[in-house]
């Protein structure tokens, strides 16, 4: 009889684990997510990777996301036509979903290539992030 009670109590404790114990995979965003909305869970990491070192990724707007480290620019000159100052490479920034709600992630750039100015639509990136429990 005692063994059955112990097993039942163990099963109840195992199923009563808090939802925050769930580990969500990193949500990867890139240039294709511009002007879209995405949903993530509290505690989940959001990684934004933009395909040019000319981007500047700002701090998140709203209170649902927090910046998780500094922006990382990684030049890549292995492609033909890529050299210093050409913008080849990536700009990456991580964010952490800290509470339910909505935040925005934005980035801007003024150059779209060596001596090539961006149009208004090419110079802004924005994604809306809905954080759910």
pLDDT tens per residue, range 89-98:
999 999 999 9
- Residue 133 and residue 114: Cα distance in Å, rounded? 44
pTM, two decimals, is 0.79
Q: Which has the closest alpha carbon to 127: 37, 47, 32?
A: 37
**Integer Cα distance of 5 and 26 in angstroms:** 39
What pLDDT shows up at residue 131?
98
| 100 domain residue, yes or no | yes
The answer to whether position 7 is within a domain reads no
35-75 tens-digit pLDDT: 999 999 999 999 999 999 999 999 999 999 999 999 999 98
Rounded CA-CA distance 87/38 in Å is: 27
Q: What is the pLDDT of residue 9?
A: 43
Q: Which domain holds residue 68?
A: 24-132
CATH label of the domain that carries residue 56: 2.60.40.2020
Report whether 104 contacts 48 (CB < 8 A).
no
Confidence of residue 121 (pLDDT cuts 50, 70, 90): confident
3-state secondary structure of 131: strand
Q: Which residue's entry shows tokens 């996301």?
A: 65
Higher pLDDT, residue 5 or 123: 123
86 within a domain of the structure (yes/no): yes
């Amino acid at each position: 009889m005692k063994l059955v009670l112990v097993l039942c109590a163990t099963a109840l404790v195992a199923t009563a684990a808090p939802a925050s114990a769930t580990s969500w995979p990193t949500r990867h965003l890139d240039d294709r997510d511009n002007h879209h909305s995405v949903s993530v869970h509290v505690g989940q990491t959001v990684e934004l990777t933009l395909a040019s070192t000319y981007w500047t990724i700002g701090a998140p707007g709203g209170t649902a996301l927090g910046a998780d480290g500094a922006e990382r620019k990684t030049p890549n000159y292995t492609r033909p036509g890529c050299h210093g100052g050409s913008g080849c490479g990536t700009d990456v920034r991580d964010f952490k979903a800290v509470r339910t709600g909505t935040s925005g992630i934005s980035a801007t750039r003024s150059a779209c290539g060596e001596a090539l100015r961006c149009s208004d639509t090419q110079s802004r990136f924005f994604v809306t992030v809905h954080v759910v429990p």
